[in-house]
Structure 1
Amino acid sequence: MTAVTQLTIIKGDATSPQAKGRKVIAHLCNDLGGWGKGFVLAVSRRWPEPERDYRDWHRHRAGNDFGLGAVRLVRVAPDVWVANMVGQRGIRAGSGGPPIRYDAVRRCLTALGDEVQALGASVHMPRIGCGLAGGTWSRVEPLVIDALCARDIAVTVYDHG
């Protein structure tokens, strides 16, 4: 049995990860190709590549894996990647509830775990899915722990403030 790495929650900015070594900044995207509100604005202020890659990925979705549960890592520095994870259906709450899709978030985090282990990186994120996506941390946190911490991947969650 492997040890479960603790999830750490700190005050700070997830776009400035507080760790040594390789780091992956993870966040949720929608399945509509929309990028322009929430955490992605902070990402785009620092690096143009994640937004460019996400829009290109969506534009060419007929020939790739773009869709709920998909993940793409975009390298933004020698030791930093941004993980665009498609975990929201649309951008507004409607009859189907809030945009977050917990099953898609679980699939994203599982795929992210594979990528992060291959890189030997730590994961840094805001409280994914709990802003514009309308999710609750009490439902997202266990997904993060199961998909990442249980695989001995260090995860830091940043509360902006």
Structure 2
Amino acid sequence: MKRITGDLIQLALNGEFDVIVHGCNCFHQMGAGIAKTIAADFPEAFEADKATEYGVETKLGTISFAQITRGTAQFVIVNAYTQFHWRGPKPRAVYPAISRCFERIAEQFPEARIGYPLIGAGLAGGDWSIIAPRIDDALSGLDHTLVEYSG
């Protein structure tokens, strides 16, 4: 994976990515981290999340997404269901779900320039040394970039 420092959302708005991905829980809660910004600034992505079934473990490893247009910028925001709940002991990141989400992203967006934050390793408390190889495996051969936040 390529690694850069910056603001994932601003990079997408600047035309750097076709798809950006963020980790979600299965309860339609986007109240912290990058999800809070996405819900506030891109209600289409929050609506895509709310169109999924509420609070079911079978949602783990699946994705929902929304096409975003802001001015001349066009990109997709993927809600990746990588943790069941937003509360409780850490880690809340579910490693097999992370793998399945990125496998689905690879199938759905094989030609896209894909950007993502430290999914599962921030508020969800997962271990990036476990998560990164799963993303690399799932997106092998695709154009994908880890964006470490600097704001």
Does residue 105 (structure 1) correspond to residue 105 (structure 2)? The answer is: no
Structure 1 distance, partners of 2:16, 2:149, is: 22
Normalised to the residue count of structure 2, the TM-score between the two structures is 0.86
Return structure 1 stretches of 4+ with deviation > 2 angstroms.
16-22
Cα separation, partners in 2 of 1:33 and 1:45, compared to 1, 3 Å:
closer
Corresponding residue of 2:145:
156
Cα shift readout 1:36-56 (whole Å, capped 9, x = no counterpart):
111112213431110121012
Q: Which has the larger radius of gyration?
A: 1
Structure 2 distance, partners of 1:135, 1:21, is: 27
SS in 1 for 2:10: coil
* Runs of at least 5 residues in structure 1 that lack an aligned partner in the other structure: 1-6
Amino acid in structure 2 at the alignment position of 1:87: T
1:141 equivalent among 129, 132, 137: 132
SS in 2 for 1:52: helix
Structure 2 distance, partners of 1:40, 1:20, is: 20
Amino acid in structure 2 at the alignment position of 1:53: A
Does residue 14 (structure 1) correspond to residue 14 (structure 2)? The answer is: no
More deviation in 128-137 or 42-51? 42-51
Cα separation, partners in 2 of 1:37 and 1:22, compared to 1, 3 Å:
closer
2:88 equivalent among 93, 105, 108: 93
2:66 equivalent among 66, 74, 77: 74
SS in 2 for 1:53: helix
Amino acid in structure 1 at the alignment position of 2:65: L
Shift of 1:66: 6.3
Does residue 124 (structure 1) correspond to residue 118 (structure 2)? The answer is: no
SS in 1 for 2:19: strand
1:51 equivalent among 46, 49, 59: 46
Please tell me whether the aligned partners of residues 29 and 35 of structure 1 are also in contact (alpha carbons under 8 angstroms).
yes
Structure 2 distance, partners of 1:122, 1:153, is: 8
Normalised to the residue count of structure 1, the TM-score between the two structures is 0.81
Paired residues, number: 146
Cα separation, partners in 2 of 1:125 and 1:22, compared to 1, 3 Å:
closer
